[in-house]
Structure 1
C-alpha cells in the first residue's frame, strides 16, 4: 500500500485521493485510513521519506564537490527531483500540507543541509551574500512550476543560478 502511495503522490502530488491510492493498492479506503487516519498523515510519511533521501543527497554532494559547484549541483538536483516527483515538489514548495509543523528531524536536517550548502557557497564568493534559504526555495518553486520539456527546465535552472551569482562590481 505504501509503495502505491509513493507512486500516486509522485505522479499527482497532494491532489491524489485516498480512493485512488486504495484502488492502486487493491485495498479498500478503510484499509488505507486504518494505517493513515488522514491523507495528510499519508502524504507526510511519503514526503518525509523523500526528504530524507534529499538530505543524504545533499551530504553526498557536499562531500565530493567544492562549495562553488556543490550548491548549484544541489539546486539543479532539487528542481529536477521536484519536477519529476510531485510529492517532492509539493513538499519543497509547501503545497498541500505544512510539513514544518511535523517538526521532524528530516525537515530540520533538510533545512540545515540547504543552509550549509548556501553558506559555504557564499563564503567562497559563489553566491550573493544577500540570498537566504527562503530565496532559494522560492527560486526552486519557480523552476519546478515551469513544467515543460527538459530544455525549458534546464534553461530555468541556468537563469536562476545566474541570478544567484554575485554581481560584477
Structure 2
C-alpha cells in the first residue's frame, strides 16, 4: 500500500476532477455509427483552430467522406460562433462568416453541391444533428476556475445558437 504524505478529501478530489474536465482530459465519445464511415481515412478534428478543421473537412470531401466532413463543418462553425461570443469582436464575426466560405470555394462545383446536399440532409435530420451535437468538442482554454462556468455556458450557447443543439 502506498502512503500519501498529505490528506486527500472530497474538496481536493472534486477540484482535481473539475481541473481534468476543464483541461480536456476526458476521453471523447466515439462518433455515432451514422456519422462514422467504413474505412475512414480523413481525420477527426485535431485542433481548436477552425481554419485547420475546415482544411480537414475538405480532405474528407476529397475522400468522399461527406458525413464526416459535415461533422467537421459543424465543429469548426461552432468554434467560430463560440469565439465570437467570447470576444465579441468584428474579427470573430467575420471569421465565422468567411472561413466556411473560403473552404467551400476551394471545392469544385460538383463537390460543393454534393457536400451541401449532404450537410443539409444531415443537419435537417434531428437525430443526426443531436448526435453531432453530443460529439462536438469544447475548445481547450486557459482560464481560472472562477470563469469556468462562463466559458462552459458560452460553449453551450454556441452549440444551441449555431446548430440548435438541445
Give the TM-score, by structure 2 length: 0.33
Give the TM-score, by structure 1 length: 0.33
